[in-house]
Chains A and B, each alone.
Chain A
Amino acid sequence: GVTQSPTHLIKTRGQQVTLRCSSQSGHNTVSWYQQALGQGPQFIFQYYREEENGRGNFPPRFSGLQFPNDSSELNVNALELDDSALYLCASSTGTAETQYFGPGTRLLVL
């Protein structure tokens, strides 16, 4: 399945954070979502074969990388209090295929 690390993280405002995701084997697409408490997941961006392939309404301080070994990263610079959320990654076999989600990383920004 899809795994994410770490499970929980505490940072302070202004810091930078890197979240990691390991996709299901053979999945060439990974999408990242932010889920604030009590809300549905919000699409951040999607990576397909190591290239960004679509982006939601998030500023450039949210960036990502996808590697050939089924792993990917979400990087957030200059953390703000509102960045506190559950961050989810989802992998799929293609850009238009069913997505399978990881358990998420819960980020708290103080």
Chain B
Amino acid sequence: DAKTTQPTSMDCAEGRAANLPCNHSTISGNEYVYWYRQIHSQGPQYIIHGLKNNETNEMASLIITEDRKSSTLILPHATLRDTAVYYCIVARGSTGGFKTIFGAGTRLFVKA
């Protein structure tokens, strides 16, 4: 399973866009990029996922580079409640199960 590299922490001003990068240079063709976030020891919350194309939902946008070796999660208008640890994960389904490998994530601090 491919591993991901994320910055340890980032700051963002409230109301501004938060851009969280992720490197996944060993990603395989059948692996998806998933983003979750975890707010203060609650269970991780699903944000968005994608395979090749950019994706957008009510929470965020996901930009995946053409070579799929990196991606960026964009929170368009960050609020204080977006302060959390953000995990970028690459995962695939297989007969061995959908093994999701979490790294240490990026701790995002949204400041007023």
Seen from chain A, the residues whose Cβ lies within 8 Å of a Cβ on chain B are: 2, 29, 31, 33, 39-43, 45-46, 48, 53-56, 86, 88, 90, 92, 94-104, 106
Complex interface: stretch among B16-24, B44-52, B60-68, B70-78: B44-52
Given known A86-B41, A96-B92, A98-B34, contact A43–B46 (CB-CB < 8 A): no
Distance in angstroms between the alpha carbons of A5 and B72 in the assembled complex: 35
Which bracket fits the contact residues of B?
20 to 34
Q: Please, could you name 17 A-B residue pairs with CB atoms under 8 Å apart, sorted by A?
A: A40-B87, A40-B102, A46-B99, A53-B96, A54-B94, A54-B97, A54-B98, A88-B44, A90-B44, A95-B97, A97-B93, A98-B49, A100-B46, A101-B36, A102-B43, A104-B41, A104-B43
Seen from chain B, the residues whose Cβ lies within 8 Å of a Cβ on chain A are: 34, 36, 41-46, 49, 85, 87, 92-94, 96-105
- For B1, the closest partner residue in chain A by CB is A43
Distance in angstroms between the alpha carbons of A86 and B85 in the assembled complex: 15
- With both chains docked as a complex, state the minimum distance between the C-beta of A23 and any C-beta of chain B, in angstroms: 13
Distance in angstroms between the alpha carbons of A92 and B44 in the assembled complex: 14
Interface residue SS majority, chain B:
loop
Supplied contacts A42-B102, A99-B100, A103-B43, 12 more A-B pairs, CB within 8 Å? A31-B98, A41-B44, A48-B97, A90-B43, A95-B93, A95-B94, A95-B98, A96-B94, A98-B34, A98-B49, A100-B46, A101-B45
Chain A residues within an 8 Å CB radius of B87: 40
- For A29, the closest partner residue in chain B by CB is B98
Distance in angstroms between the alpha carbons of A46 and B97 in the assembled complex: 7
